[in-house]
Structure 1
Amino acid sequence: MAQEPRIDVEINARTVESSLSPEQVQRVANALGDPGVWFATPPVPSSGTGEAATPDFVWDLVGDKPHRGHIATGRAHVYLAEEHSALARPLIFADGFNYGPSDLNAMWRHFNAPYEKGVPGLLDQLRMLGIDVVLLGFDQRQTYIQANAGVAVACVLRALAERRGDSPLVVGGASMGGLVTRYALALMESERVDHQTDKYFSYDTPHLGAWIPLVLQQLAYLHESLQPRHDGAGQAELIRSPAAQQLLWGWVESASYSGQVTASPLRMEFLDDLRRVGWFPMRPYKLGMANGTGDGLGPVLKPGTPVLDLGEGPLRLVARIQPNMGELRNVGAIGFGEPVWTSATSYVAAFDGAPGGTLDAFGGVADAMGLPIQDRFRGTCFVPSVSAVALARDPRQWQAELYTDLRELPKDDTFLDTFCCDTGNHPHGTVSKALVEWFVAQLAGW
């Protein structure tokens, strides 16, 4: 029987604060960097360049039903294809996971940035094919996926109402946006609402789950407890959010938690809801793109390697690349001479170095702390390739197949109809030549 993943934290007193003098507390807080929401920066190298196109229409959208009493809201920017005077062939492209409201102008700039000199960006290529692009954003990207799925349903219904003719829709999204639209389409089918969608697509979507290093989640909570925010969200606000809890395989609820590392109850509830509505929508042909490789080779990140190491003076603060399995493998420590807080994991796989779309997790934290960091350590796996291609596995389980070679995967071993992996393990959401050309080719005959 497989051992359950767990994390064990040792503190010399009930809290870290009570183990330290006020001066030491301030030194640790200062070392952890400036206040602000950790992991909330865009998980892409840039938001693109140039001006965003002016949308032909802007739709304000309200979710069709509440989830846990919350009705989500959002908006869509509609960009008509060349020579179109009205919506005719809509492609709905939903925004992904982050903190706060979507910036649809930034989304346009990012996904339309030229990936090759002299070649139009993805969104312009779609419009040249006669496809009307509808960028879908959410006012609270960090809220429940089911709530934002209500906004996606409203967007689909608005597109059908505005469309001239009977061309079917293409619906999908980037990152969490792919899960939001997956749930929305499946929900509509379960309620016998005709979404008239011919193709569904996901762009580096964590169908099986996503990963943020456990030690960095802990440090976010620890920073927040040592230097509370009184004028805004704290460092762990995004980790604590409903969407993060629903996305992450391993979610940590505090800096002092010890016990089994499991998914949040909100994730289990979301997966149950997905099962209830049909798991995936059945009508559309399902396309998937992964920002990671399909050859089973991830970034070279040796498990257990110290990445953040503040060892100057009496204060010591260390954070490590996730070790591979084993018992009580150290992932982090803070102390003045003797450790006052240590964290160790047991039976946790080497997620950080798995092939997949990467997140500038250690890099962003190092920048906040003002620490130098080698470029090769900045980004760790965020959406494993096996997750982005929806490997036919139970997402409730921690994946033992993170390094699977996907190049000759049997068709019935994925929940998608077809997929494309990138040529390297690129930052999550990166627009690459390989993915764009594959996606455009899939839609060229539509």
Structure 2
Amino acid sequence: MNCARSQLIRSAPVVDVWGPVAPGARSSFPPAPEPHDEWSLAGGTAWVYYSPLNRRQLVRPVILSDGLSSGSSDLDQLWHGLEENGDYRFVSELHACGRDVIILGYHDRTASITDNADTAIDCIRRTIAERVGRAKLAVGGFSMGGMVTRYALAKMEHDPALPDHETSIYLSYDSPHQGGWFPIALQAFTHFATDKWGEVPGVGPVLRQFSGLLNSPAAKQMARWHIAKVGDTPRQAPERTTFLRALDEVGGWPRNVRKIGVANGVDTGTGNGVKAGATAVKCNGDTLHDTWLKTQAQGDQVVANLQKTGEEPTSVRTSGLPDIDGAPGGLFTMPSPAGDPGSFGLAGLLMALLGNEVNPDVITTSCFIPSISAVDAGDINDPKALYQPITPEHSALDAFACASRNEGHTTMTEELGAWIVNEIVAAG
């Protein structure tokens, strides 16, 4: 394996709640401060950071849940996302307001939402048991973590065998209340490449990781449209249908709380600039011939042409999907590793890993969590709703805030972070 290709493999990103992260990057994050307490939970871990104002006591707890990614939660990575990955130090600001922060992680972030919700329930119960006084909790999460805690709180209200959650405010940060978008062209290429080269040393593990993540229980519950393999018709996975039914059975939302949320996309209906039906990435080379992926458009469309060199091409078609890649919302972004001109965008990186020349004008950005999904203000299957301004009466939340620009999914900004802190403080 040549040096350039070896560097590509080392820098291959992982889809993460805080954005794309290289597999080796976790060790490069500065260590998180030592938690004041650490709770071992059924299915996860909670790291407790008391506010300096509370003298090492749990007085006003705020539980923040991790979301979808590969493997188990990593405290250094989570701390980086909360405190270092934007222009607002979220934990520090909560501490300054006398709030104690409990960061909730999971042993398996790809497990089903309902399974990890049981871990969230365990965390809520432990928090109530450890709390000094009777201050109500604030409970929520980032990305998929908002769905996990939404279901957990609703289940606690619905199931008489479970205790009162003693929570006054539920919060979500760019969570996929109406589902998320993994481009069908990207899903198809990932599965195609895994089928062809999944056992190749070095490259194979990277491909299998992406394909496995897309086919994990949590991803299938999140994705509004999913394909398990090339040739499948894009649809809601059975796992998503089952989860939505389970959510409906517990009332859909917790009712005895104030529900707030934020979107990393705008509420004006202004898209991110990605044009529908455009060629996002294409390549030719040692292993792939005339292979290209297009951004999603409405109507019948060939969204990808996939061809292993020396074999017949495979066309990937969609029908009836909205032009969602350019919709307002939190962005799925994929920065290029420094010094490597071929690794831009997830598909472009994978193509380059396989030894191909990628076009230089790759579209690296697409919508991941539409704004109307993050604030539950409409069906992301509706092209008109995706691009319409959002007003309070549209949302299932009691209050929400949207970003002033379409930015990276779960990016922590002062605009959104301070709004949430103010809402938590106002709740008492």
Q: TM-score, normalised by structure 1?
A: 0.82
Q: How many residues align?
A: 394
Question: Aligned residue for 1:244?
Answer: 219
Query: Contact 2:323–2:383 (CA<8 Å) still a contact in 1?
Result: no
1:379 aligns with 2:389: no
The one of 156, 166, 176 equivalent to 1:196 is 166
Query: Contact 1:37–1:236 (CA<8 Å) still a contact in 2?
Result: no
Shift of residue 335, structure 1, vs aligned partner: 6.0
Question: Aligned residue for 1:10?
Answer: none
Q: State the distance in 2 between where 1:177 and 1:332 align.
A: 35
The one of 341, 351, 356 equivalent to 2:314 is 341
Shift of residue 157, structure 1, vs aligned partner: 0.0
> What are the superposed Cα offsets for residues 368-412 of structure 1, whole Å, 9 maximum, x if unpaired?
32355668821211100000001155x8x6665111211xx143x
Question: Aligned residue for 1:155?
Answer: 123
Shift of residue 36, structure 1, vs aligned partner: 11
> Which residues of 2 match residues 67-106 of structure 1 at below 5 A?
73-84=43-54, 85-106=56-77
Question: Aligned residue for 1:424?
Answer: 405
Decide whether aligned partners of structure 1 residues 39 and 215 sit closer, same or farther in structure 2, where only a CA change above 3 A counts. farther
Decide whether aligned partners of structure 1 residues 330 and 237 sit closer, same or farther in structure 2, where only a CA change above 3 A counts. closer
Matched letter for residue 215 of structure 2: R
Q: State the distance in 1 between where 2:164 and 2:361 align.
A: 48
Decide whether aligned partners of structure 1 residues 374 and 200 sit closer, same or farther in structure 2, where only a CA change above 3 A counts. farther
Query: Contact 1:37–1:235 (CA<8 Å) still a contact in 2?
Result: no
Query: Contact 2:274–2:365 (CA<8 Å) still a contact in 1?
Result: no
Decide whether aligned partners of structure 1 residues 340 and 142 sit closer, same or farther in structure 2, where only a CA change above 3 A counts. same
Q: State the distance in 2 between where 1:41 and 1:372 align.
A: 24
> Which residues of 2 match residues 42-121 of structure 1 at below 5 A?
43-44=18-19, 50-62=30-42, 73-84=43-54, 85-113=56-84, 115-116=86-87, 121=89
Matched letter for residue 253 of structure 1: A
Question: Aligned residue for 1:20?
Answer: none
Q: State the distance in 1 between where 2:416 and 2:215 align.
A: 32
Shift of residue 418, structure 1, vs aligned partner: 0.4
Query: Contact 2:326–2:367 (CA<8 Å) still a contact in 1?
Result: yes
Matched letter for residue 374 of structure 2: A
The one of 180, 184, 200 equivalent to 2:148 is 180
Query: Contact 1:201–1:286 (CA<8 Å) still a contact in 2?
Result: yes
Decide whether aligned partners of structure 1 residues 439 and 342 sit closer, same or farther in structure 2, where only a CA change above 3 A counts. same
Query: Contact 2:279–2:292 (CA<8 Å) still a contact in 1?
Result: yes
Matched letter for residue 384 of structure 1: P
Matched letter for residue 406 of structure 2: N
Question: Aligned residue for 1:402?
Answer: 386
Query: Contact 2:60–2:99 (CA<8 Å) still a contact in 1?
Result: yes
> What are the superposed Cα offsets for residues 415-442 of structure 1, whole Å, 9 maximum, x if unpaired?
1000000111111110112101211221
Question: Aligned residue for 1:274?
Answer: 247
Query: Contact 2:271–2:328 (CA<8 Å) still a contact in 1?
Result: yes
Gaps of 5+ in 1: 1-29, 63-72
Query: Contact 1:238–1:244 (CA<8 Å) still a contact in 2?
Result: yes
Query: Contact 2:137–2:168 (CA<8 Å) still a contact in 1?
Result: yes
Decide whether aligned partners of structure 1 residues 115 and 240 sit closer, same or farther in structure 2, where only a CA change above 3 A counts. closer
Decide whether aligned partners of structure 1 residues 390 and 113 sit closer, same or farther in structure 2, where only a CA change above 3 A counts. same
Deviates more, 1:340-349 or 1:222-231: 222-231
Q: Which of 1 and 2 has higher RCO (CA within 8 Å, sep 6+)?
A: 1
Shift of residue 237, structure 1, vs aligned partner: 0.2
Q: State the distance in 1 between where 2:112 and 2:125 align.
A: 21
1:321 aligns with 2:295: yes
Shift of residue 337, structure 1, vs aligned partner: 8.8
Question: Aligned residue for 1:24?
Answer: none
Deviates more, 1:191-200 or 1:369-378: 369-378
Shift of residue 51, structure 1, vs aligned partner: 4.1
Decide whether aligned partners of structure 1 residues 203 and 367 sit closer, same or farther in structure 2, where only a CA change above 3 A counts. same
Shift of residue 91, structure 1, vs aligned partner: 0.2
1:436 aligns with 2:404: no
1:391 aligns with 2:377: yes
> Which residues of 2 match residues 127-166 of structure 1 at below 5 A?
127-166=95-134
Query: Contact 1:318–1:334 (CA<8 Å) still a contact in 2?
Result: no
